[in-house]
Amino acid sequence: MKTMTCQQLGGPCQLAHHGATADDVIKAQDRHLKEMVDRGDEAHVPARNDMKDRWKHPIAGMGWYRDAKKTFAALPED
């Protein structure tokens, strides 16, 4: 297991996401951003919009995805 924060993934807070793979933490971040925006947290709106754009335009979003995977790979195990 490794840990990445919301902020490390482009969000505004320090909520920790834990996962065995980069995809696990990326999916957790997506759920977190959606939940926070649904609750009315305006600070998470820009990150949520960025995440939605990456899902809608996967080829353009591959740079962010590769960077997130590299960052995850370099992290120590929890």
- Name the band, by pLDDT with cuts 50, 70 and 90, for residue 10: very high
Return mean pLDDT, the chain: 95
Q: How far apart are CA 54 and CA 52, in angstroms?
A: 5
Phi-psi label, residue 40: left if phi above 0, alpha if psi -120 to 50, beta otherwise? left
* Coil vs helix vs strand at 76: coil
Whole-model pTM over 0.75: yes
Indicate the domain borders of the chain.
2-74
Q: What percent of the chain has pLDDT over 90?
A: 86
* Residue 5 pLDDT grade (very low, low, confident, very high; cuts 50, 70, 90): very high
Query: Is the pLDDT confidence value at 56 over 90?
Result: no
> Which pLDDT belongs to residue 43?
98
